[in-house]
Amino acid sequence: DSGVTQTPKHLITATGQRVTLRCSPRSGDLSVYWYQQSLDQGLQFLIQYYNGEERAKGNILERFSAQQFPDLHSELNLSSLELGDSALYFCASSPWTGEAANEKLFFGSGTQLSVL
Amino acid sequence: AQKVTQAQTEISVVEKEDVTLDCVYETRDTTYYLFWYKQPPSGELVFLIRRNSFDEQNEISGRYSWNFQKSTSSFNFTITASQVVDSAVYFCALKTDYGGSQGNLIFGKGTKLSVKP
C-alpha cells in the first residue's frame, strides 16, 4: 500500500459529461502529480501541484483542470468528456527533498474512467 | 528530446528462468534520474528503484538487479529465477529538471512479463 488514496476506483459516464477524480496524498507529502494511462499514449504526465500551487504542466487538455486544497488533497476535473478520455488516471505524491528530479513518486491505485 | 524506449513489448518465460528487461533512454541533461516501476494485474504502480546519472554502480536487491550503462544509455533490469508473482508490466522512466519539467516522469511504453508455472 503506497499510502496514496484515489477515489473512485471506477467511473462510468457518458460523452459530454463532467467528472471529478479525487486524490489524498501520503501523509506529509506536499507534491501531487496526475498521470493518464491509455492504451495508445501510455503513461503521460498531466500536471503537478506543490503545496497548493501549480508547479509543472504536461500534456493536459484545456477541458481538464486540477487543484490542490489546503489539506493537500487534490482533484482532477474532466469536462466535456469524449470517448478518447477513457483511461486509467493515476495520482502520485512525493515528499519535497530539495532536488525535484530526485523525488520518488508514490502512486495510488488509479481511477479507471470509462466514457461511453 | 527526452525519451525512454522499451523495445520488448511482451516477454513470456517459464518459472525459474532469468529474464532481462531492456530500457534505453535519451536526454541532453547531464543530471537525470532513472526509475523502474512495476504494474501488477491489480493496476497500481509500484516503485522498484531510482538511480541517478552519477552513480553507475549496478544494484542488486534479492532476485532483482539493475545494470546502468551511460555509454549505451541503458538501464536494464534482470529478474533472476523468475516467479509467477513477477508477472506484471514493468515501466522504465526518466526524470530531469530540464525546462521546468520537474514533475515529469517520462515513461517507456512498458514490457509485459508473463511468468508461467
Using one digit for the tens of pLDDT, what is the confidence trace for A35-55? 999 988 899 999 999 889 998
Give chain B's length: 117
Q: Looking at residue A95, what is its pLDDT?
A: 80
Q: In whole numbers, what is the pLDDT of chain B averaged over residues? A: 90
Which residue numbers of A have CB closer than 8 Å to B's CBs?
Answer: 2, 31, 33, 35, 42-45, 47-48, 55-56, 58, 88, 90, 92, 100-110, 112
Chain A residues whose beta carbon lies within 8 Å of the beta carbon of residue B97: 100-101
B93, B38 Cβ separation under 8 angstroms: no
Q: What is the dihedral of CA A20, A25, A27, A31, to 10 degrees?
A: -120
* DSSP one-letter code for A103: P
Minimal C-alpha gap between A25 and chain B (Å)? 15
Which residues 6+ apart lie within 8 Å of A59 measured at CB? Answer: A36, A44, A45, A46
- Pairing mode, strands B111-116 and B10-14: parallel
